[in-house]
Amino acid sequence: MKQTLLFISLIIYSTTSLFGQIKSEDITINNMAIQLPGTLSYSSVNEPLIIWVHGSGGVNRNGNTPNYIQQFREKINQKGIAFFSYDKRTSNPQNAKFIQEDGIYFSDFVSDLKEVINHFKEDNRFSEIILAGHSQGSLIAMLSLDNVDKYISVAGAGETIDKTLVRQISAQSAEFGKLTAEYVKELKETGSIKEVDPNLMSLFAKQNQPFLASWIALNPIEEITKVKIPTLIINGDKDIQVPIVDAKALKEAKPEAELVIIKNMNHVLKNIEKDGDNLKSYMSADYPISEDLINTIVAFIKK
pLDDT tens readout for residues 24-55:
999 999 999 999 999 999 999 999 999 999 99
Q: pTM here? A: 0.92
Per-residue pLDDT tens digits for 154-201 = 999 999 999 999 999 999 999 999 999 999 999 999 999 999 999 999
Distance separating alpha carbons of residues 239 and 268, to the nearest angstrom: 8
**What integer best gives the mean pLDDT of the chain?**
93
In the chain, where does the domain assigned CATH 3.40.50.1820 lie?
Answer: 5-160+219-302
Per-residue pLDDT tens digits for 209-267 = 999 999 999 999 999 999 999 999 999 999 999 999 999 999 999 999 999 999 999 99
User: Could you tell me the pLDDT band of residue 303, with boundaries at 50, 70 and 90?
Assistant: confident
Among left, alpha and beta (phi > 0; psi -120 to 50; other), residue 146 is beta
Rounded to the nearest angstrom, the gap between the alpha carbon of residue 196 and the centroid of all alpha carbons in its chain is 28
Fold of 5-160+219-302: Rossmann fold (3.40.50)
